[in-house]
Amino acid sequence: MRYFIELSYNGSAYHGWQNQPTAISVQEVVEKGLSTLLKEPIAIVGAGRTDTGVHASQMFAHFDTEVGFEETQLTYKLNSFLPKDIAIKSVLKVNADAHARFDAVSRTYLYRIILSKNVFTFNNVLYVKQNLDVEKMKEASKILFEYKDFQCFSKTNTDVKTYNCDIMKAEWFFKDDELHFVVKADRFLRNMVRAIVGTMINIGLGKINVNDLHTIIKSKNRSEAGFSVPAHALYLTHVEYPDSIKLND
């Protein structure tokens, strides 16, 4: 049988989602928990590959097993076994061909910024000391919808076959004392969100003009885009799937 796990994690202590040969990852820790509880080697496949230090308030992964268990009980046992920075929300039986990565139709990320110093949230948000022209940043975010190829925001030397992404949502807004950037797309390139945010901050600081974003995207050159903002303020917040992946009992 194939199962989906819905989970969240604080990525501060991990070198990203994906297994690493010499560093600890979220995938490794969850696989160890499942393998211990189900008493057989379990490999999981995630909906994406968050980078070192990036968090997820919603992530999905799938695994296969013939071991029988009750989903609610396994969720409880996993949460008891896993460290405090990884939480399992549910375990769901799905169709045998359902795939956590390839069946996802969209992913949504949030980047959190504060414009005044806060001693309680500095580990989870980016503090920007300078004044930002948020209206220009909002204007720039609309330009993203005009393009599909975002190679300029991609980490170099990646093994992707295409740099095309369908951006469905990109907006800046204030929530309480924080400035949030939310972006939704069918897929994301490595480092893409952090590079977009860094470029937008440069626009907000007046270092580049709003219309310069057209030139940057058309260049397909990572060095033309802005800096990559720190990972600690980035969150994967939602992964969407078609209803067809669920098993009809």
Q: Where are the beta strands (DSSP E) in 95-152?
A: 106-114, 126-127
3 state DSSP class of 111? strand
Cα radius of gyration rounded to whole Å, the chain:
19
Could you give the count of Cα atoms lying within 13 Å of 14 in the half-sphere of its Cβ?
A: 24
Backbone angles phi, psi at 158, to 5 degrees: -100, 165
What is the distance between the alpha carbons of residues 71 and 92, in angstroms, rounded to a whole number?
A: 7
As to burial, measured by CB atoms within 10 angstroms (0-12 exposed, 13-18 middle, 19+ buried), residue 153 is buried
Check 51, 97, 133, 149 and give the catalytic one: 51
What is the distance between the alpha carbons of residues 60 and 56, in angstroms, rounded to a whole number?
A: 10
Give catalytic status of residue 51 as yes or no.
yes
**Closest residue by Cα to residue 98 from 67, 69, 131, 63:** 63
Catalytic site positions: 51
